[in-house]
Every structure is written in structure tokens, then in C-alpha cells.
A and B are shown apart, each in its own frame.
Chain A
């Protein structure tokens, strides 16, 4: 199930639990799946049409004086349209929740104008922000619940393509706590991915296992705050080798967040895979490959660490 679809299911579920949950969208509800909430609670859904600045402002307004728990969604790329409003939202100590779908090159054919590749950077730079990047349906649902209960600006990054459910329904999630989703006694590298690239990392782990090599795979769950302790512990257990892989540009995203977390620790080597240069239209899987963040590239990067 795509995490975008899981968002819709989760929001409707949350809306069932609390009458104060309201949802907003910018004429993309059938893409972001906020329509699932709308169908269940039409009176608590606000269509903002194609006007993202205003949608963010309206969401902030809805959340003032604790009148509602507001979730506003659109394509992650279009939150760039409302960035000044988001910046002011932090200065205003707003508790608004923003959900951006269609992140990264994994959206495929529609091309770069619809792809968010800088959203992790801009949301990380917001002081009061918590950045969730759930990798499956279960963790998406937990992210929605946590956002509703976390102060400040919460951003949840969802993806377009379907992917496997990897967590059991009773897995507990917390802000700033990563999950080690694959490990063994003889892991040689720690690979950190999120969303689409977490699944690519798992696929790479399978490829490498068949070559007799094991890797540890970490799902950060929240990019901000980042679980530095888990990452460090894992790095130490894997001879200091870390590979980060993200469906995002190199600057300001998962890779730089990890660098900031492990920076200064001796003996840690970090290899970063990310999208470089403006991408293009194509099939989702072809683009992941073309822009160096697919399972094949992750496996190559792992093999490269042996060579060095």
C-alpha cells in the first residue's frame, strides 16, 4: 500500500477518534488521499483549491487557540509555495500538521515540476518542525497519530508508489526513534533509507545476502529529530561504515542530517546517495536507477566499501 493511501486511512481513523480533527487540501485529495477523510467526515474537510499559501494560512488559523487539530495536504513539492507561511507558522508557535505526497523521483512520468526533492531541507530548517518520513502503511498511521499529539509544525512525507507493509500492527513508534529493520551478527555496513529508498535498501540487502554479505538496514522514521544514538551504535557495529540513500537532493536532507548526527566521531565513514541535478520524466523504477538511488546502486555502494 502506498504511504499516501495509508495517510488517508489513518486520517479518517483519527477523525473517528476525535471530533476536533479537520483536514484541508489543495484540489489534490484524490492524489494525497485526504479524500478518505472527506468521505467519512465531509463537514470537517475544507477544500482550499489550488492555493497552497492560503491553505497553510487557513490551517494555521484553524489550529489557533487549540480549536482544531488541523492536517493540510497537497503534493510535497507545492509546500514550497507556502514556505513563507510555514516559516511564520513556526514563529507563531503553530501546531499545524502538513502532509506532502508525491515525494521524489519515484513519482515517475509527471516529471520534476511535481517532484519534491528539497522538502526535507526546507522543513528541517524550520526550528519547531518534526519531520516524519514513514516507510510503510503501519508507520504512516503511527506518524499521523504522533503528529496530532506533537507540538510545533509536523511534516509527513508520503510517496506515490505502492510498497510492502514491513511492520506489524502493534509495533510501537516514537518521535526520534529509528527502527533497525534488518540485522545479523555479521553486518558489514549500515544502510539508512526512508520511504521508497528503505525498500530499495531491503532489496539490496537481499541481493547482497545471496552473495554472502550482510548489511544492517535502518529506518529513521523521523528525519528530525534523528535518532543519533541508534545510528551511532549501528555504525560502530558495522566497522563505522554508513551509507545513506534518499529520494531527495544531496543538500539538507537525510544524508546531511546523518552527517550532523555522527559528525566528529572518529572512524565513521559516510557514503551518501541522493539525486543530483534536476531529474526528468520516466518510469518510477527507471528514474530510481538513473538517479543512483535504486537497490542496484545501494548494493554497488556497499561493495565499494569493501574495495576501499
Chain B
């Protein structure tokens, strides 16, 4: 281990002092808050002290500096320990710690990026390593710079599959700038973690995944990510709690806290050494993500046919041509989602994530952190359900990521319901920071990609499998939250709001009904969230209050409910909804649309019914 310079005694003492101060601060903060996980903090004290004052190269005064080493506290419940480190660096005040969890404090129960010191929120376990992979991948392959990424995991959370997806990814892509530190303190929330203190079993698992254990790695050139498997004691420093069950998330009562902190304080020896983190190497290229624009208007012609999934792929390749920080991820579905079009043109900016959607979303978040990249991640829309916890945390983390789900709804056809997304609009609508694009043709899909790249938060684009006609001119202007009236006449009787495949069905129904002298108006919402409430209400009023919504999605939480929400409390409006009501089956797409009542005939029939019941009502 020739490269390893053992720190001198003074340094070691200073590091020990910092660790014990971390313990004291974690106990004080959680006791004051009456909430938190002091024993989980105590086991990571030395790890954090060494990381923050010896191993990591970063700028303490600029926590989001692009050259700095990154740190992710994957075991988010040790938040007070993280906050303590930033008190040590001087970025946070010690008094702030005592306001932990208070409703007006910036220090919350789990880390979130309202604080500069946190890149992504953690607290839902098993997600940090995937994000760290995204940051490390960016550092190694996109930024090509020296910064390293450190991720601290608990042993309880290593039961999560997502952790092992991340390990696979890290080893496959040889992320030798990534260090995973595992706090093996033996105890989970209620019981011991399955492998208890058997660190050799963790070592074997890491090695099986291609992740080298630290000591070995130090003596050889490193081409693999590294794991440090730390055998620690939960509650270390709190005698009554050390290595004992029943102390997870238990704060110390005031008198015990005072006694314990006094004891810890007495262990803090004077050290002449004042530690300061080493500076980072400044070799990260400057990046600006403003003005990510398409170089030209879409080149489709009305009447041409193209699947929106293909238009997505072409749009990605186009935007990637002139914006070198656009990167694309996919989960071994690039020939289905058509992200292969981007891959073939810009192979160095395509990251294959294989069949591991949770990890793909986390890696996307990591690539987008510190505004290093504009990220698009795609797979079949149904499989984003696999990553819903990661998406939920992405919203809490205020991440800017763009997702594209193909094969939405019944349009998937023969493959059947396992591959059909019929609940995806509902799940994305329930994310606070989400924008949902549901373009119906090639032109609007290209616009959606451009808008997504520029829109903050989680952007989701829903694409379909089959070909559909181009209905917009290339110079049509599109905006988030702006619907288009795509078909109208004089004296329209009903407003139909539909999207994607059902928009084309609605247009066909409208043409057919014309022959029966029934005139209807068709609206393409373009974005389901936010929804263009004004356009929908104005047009519905113009059609005597009659509105029909049709969606390739279940009834709950989708376009229909979004429209009901919008029409709420508008008097005199009558909405009928068509959607899929049961788990569907395999079949040809047009057959399925008919069976599940969302095809042109069902639309026409619904409209006739609405008109006859109005007549009857009169």
C-alpha cells in the first residue's frame, strides 16, 4: 500500500474530536426536536469525519460547486449527522441544529435540496447509490474530470434491490470514481439486518457485483468502483444503546442526553490541528443548460404518418445534434422507444441502463444534478411504475429530469396488459413538480421534447406504438398548458377532448358525424398537466355545455378526472367520460380500442346519446 500515507497523530485526534462532536450535536438536535435517529447517526460519526475532513476534495463555502467531490447520504435518516458536518465546516450555524424539524427550520427530518448542502433528497432507502452512479458516470464520461462521488449506505437499506441494480451499473461502467461506504451497524429498525455483522458476506456480495473492497483496491490500479465495508456499532457513544435493539428512531430523554453529551465532550482532546478540507481539482468544464433549443422547425408534412414514439427518437437526435449536454438513458428498450435513433447518432451520450428501471431513474437524477446535463430517460410507459418511489423522491428532490414512456395504453396491442400503461397519467399527475405531455403527432412530439428540455421539474412524455397522421403544420407554436382546437365548425354541439390515439379516433368520429349533420369540436390538450382549463371551458360553453373526454387509460386519475377538476363549479356543464374500465387483454390495437369503448364508433355513439338525452331533457 505504498500510496497510502497514514495521517499523523494530531490529525487522527482532530478527526476523532469531530466525530464525537457529531455525536453530541446529533443527540442534542434530536432530543430538542423530540424526533430523529441519533443511534443511526452515532455509527457513522467517524466515517463522516474522515470523509469531510480528510478524503473529500470540495469547497465548503460553495456546496454545489461543480468541481467538488459529491456526497450522498443514502441512509437519509442520519440527516443530523450530515448537518453536523456542515456545522463543522462553518457553512451551517450550530444553533440551527437545535431547530431541527421545526416547521420554520431549513433543517428537516431527512435531507432535501432546499438546503444547498444536499443534491438530492433521501429518506426512502436504497436510492442514493443509483444517483451517485449518475453523478459518477457524468464525472467520468461527460465532464471527464477528477471529482469523485461518495455514497453512504446503511446495512438495512442494502436489502433494497435498487442498491444491487446500482452496483451492477457501477461495475459495468467501471465507475472507479465512485466509493460506496457501507455502515454495517448490524441493526435495522426492528430487528438485526439479515447479515448482522458478517462483513465478509457483504464483501463477497460486493465482489460478486464487481465492486472492490477498499484495502485490496488501494494496492492495485483502480478500474472498478470501490466499497468500504465499515463494521460499526449502532448507537456508538450512547452506552445504554450501543448495539442494542429497540433504539431505532428513539431520541434520548433530556437527562440522558445531558449525561451522554457530557461524557462525549470529555473525550474531546485538545488538538493543535485545525482541519480544512482539501481543494478540488478545477477541471470540470463550464456548462450552461440555458437555451437548449431545436435548431429548426419540425420537417413533417401534413398527411405523413409517423408513430409518436419514432418522432420522439428523431426529436432527441435532433436536439442532441446542437446541444452536447443532452444525454439519453434507456432500459434495454431503445428499439421500442426509438431512443436508438439518438444512440446511433450520439453513441457517447447514450447510457444503456439495462432492465433496471429504478436505477435508470436514479442515474438520470444523478446525471442532472448540479445542472451538468439535460437528461432524457425512456422505456415502456408501463415500466415507469417500477420506479415510482424514485419518481416520488425526484419531485421531493426538485430534480429536472425528462422521461418518455412508449407503448401507452391499449395501443400496445398484442403484447397485452403487462406492457400497457393504463395508470401512468394518474401516477405522474400526482407528482407535484410534474409536467405531462401527451402529443398526438410528430410535430407536437418534437415540440414536446424541446419544451421538456427547457421545463423544470419532472417532465413526462407519453408516446404511442402505432403510426398516426401528422395534423399540425411545422410552424405551429406549442406551449406547456396550451391546448389546440384541432377541429371545429359552425354550431358545434359537443366538445371532445382526447389525446394521442384517441385524438385521432375523435377526428374520425367527427368526420363521420358530419354526415349525420352532427357537428362536434375536437380539442388536443397537448399537456395533461398543466391542463388548459380556459380553452376547455370556453369551448364547452360554446357547445352548449356538452363535453366528452376519451382516453387510452383507466378512468381514475387521468385525462377525464383532470378535466372534471377543471370544470368543477362551472355551472351548466355536462361531462361524459370514456376510458378503459377493466384490465384489458391481448388483441389488435384497433380491436381493443373497440372492445374497451374508446374507438371512433364508441365516441360517435356517446355523442349521439348525449344529444338525444339533451333533446329528451328539453
Contacts and interface: CB of A to CB of B under 8 A. Distances in A.
A50 B160 contact: yes
Interface stretch (A10-18, A75-83, A205-213): A75-83
A264 B567 CA distance: 10
Contacts of A87: 382, 385, 423
Contact of A128 (B105, B159, B427, B583): B583
Given A81-B124, A113-B393, A249 B189 contact: no
Given A78-B389, A125-B554, A31 B122 contact: no
Nearest to A118: B430
B331 interface: no
Most buried by A among B160, B191, B391, B555: B160
Nearest to B558: A125
B193 interface: yes
A224 to B, nearest CB: 8
Interface stretch (A22-30, A58-66, A187-195, A229-237): A22-30
Given A111-B109, A125-B423, A252-B557, A91 B432 contact: no
Interface in B532-554: 554
Residue from A88, A90, A112, A260 having most chain B Cβ neighbours under 10 A: A112
A126 B423 contact: yes
B583 A90 contact: yes
Interface in B372-392: 382-383, 385-386, 388-389, 391-392
Contacts of B560: 260
Contact of A252 (B123, B161, B561, B574): B561
A133 to B, nearest CB: 15
A228 to B, nearest CB: 13
A27 B568 contact: no
Contacts of B34: 109
A299 interface: no
A113 B122 contact: yes
A49 B564 contact: no
A269 B571 CA distance: 8
A91 to B, nearest CB: 5
A259 B564 contact: yes
A71 B347 CA distance: 47
Interface centre among A53, A125, A126 (most CB of B within 10 A): A125
A27 B248 CA distance: 11
B430 A121 contact: yes
B102 interface: yes
Contact of B161 (A53, A253, A276, A280): A53
A30 B189 contact: yes
A216 interface: no
A113 B160 contact: no
Contacts of A263: 564, 575, 577
Interface string A253-265: 1011101100110
B189 A280 contact: no
Given A28-B189, A126-B423, A278 B396 contact: yes
A270 B568 contact: yes
A266 B565 contact: no
Nearest to B585: A91
A122 B388 contact: yes
A121 B429 contact: yes
A163 interface: no
Interface in B23-58: 33-36
B159 A83 contact: no
Given A91-B417, A113-B110, A286-B103, A27 B191 contact: yes
Nearest to A34: B190
B76 interface: yes
Nearest to A277: B432
B410 interface: no
B193 A121 contact: no
A153 to B, nearest CB: 11
Interface string A40-64: 0000000101111110000000000
Nearest to A256: B561
Contacts of A30: 189-190
The prevalent SS among residues of B at the interface is loop
Given A27-B188, A127-B554, A113 B124 contact: yes
B430 A84 contact: no
A269 B569 contact: yes
A83 B388 contact: yes
Interface string A110-134: 1111100110011011111000000
A126 B580 CA distance: 11
Contacts of B189: 27-28, 30-31
A83 B423 CA distance: 10
A272 interface: yes
B426 interface: yes
B194 A109 contact: no
Given A31-B189, A256-B557, A259-B565, A251 B430 contact: yes
B435 to A, nearest CB: 13
B363 to A, nearest CB: 17
B190 A260 contact: no
A282 interface: yes
Interface string B305-347: 0000000000000000000000000000000000000000000
Interface string A75-113: 001101101101110110000000000000000111111
Given A49-B188, A113-B123, A280 B561 contact: no
B481 to A, nearest CB: 15
Nearest to A127: B583
A250 interface: yes
Contacts of A260: 555-556, 560-561, 564, 577
Given A122-B427, A282-B103, A111 B110 contact: yes
Given A27-B190, A51-B161, A252-B557, A278 B395 contact: yes
B583 A280 contact: no
Nearest to B124: A113
A277 B431 CA distance: 9
Nearest to A86: B385
B388 A91 contact: no
A276 B123 contact: no
A270 B358 CA distance: 38
Nearest to A48: B159
B436 to A, nearest CB: 10
B595 interface: no
A247 interface: no
Contacts of B392: 77, 80, 118
Nearest to B582: A127
Contacts of A127: 554, 581-583
Contacts of A282: 101-103
Contact of A50 (B157, B429, B577): B157
A125 B426 CA distance: 7
Contact of A122 (B33, B36, B426): B426
A21 interface: no
A83 B103 contact: no
A110 B123 contact: yes
A276 B558 CA distance: 18
Nearest to A55: B159
A264 B123 contact: no
B388 A81 contact: yes
Contacts of B383: 84
B289 interface: no
Interface string B578-598: 000111000000000000000
Interface centre among B110, B561, B575 (most CB of A within 10 A): B561
14 contacts: A81-B358, A81-B389, A87-B385, A111-B112, A112-B110, A113-B396, A122-B388, A122-B430, A127-B582, A251-B426, A256-B557, A271-B569, A280-B108, A281-B101
Query: What 6 A-B pairs come out closest when comparing CB atoms?
Result: A113-B123, A282-B103, A118-B430, A125-B423, A252-B557, A109-B35
Given A29-B190, A113-B122, A252-B556, 13 more contacts: A80-B388, A80-B391, A111-B108, A121-B426, A125-B426, A127-B581, A128-B583, A255-B565, A260-B560, A260-B564, A272-B568, A280-B103, A281-B102
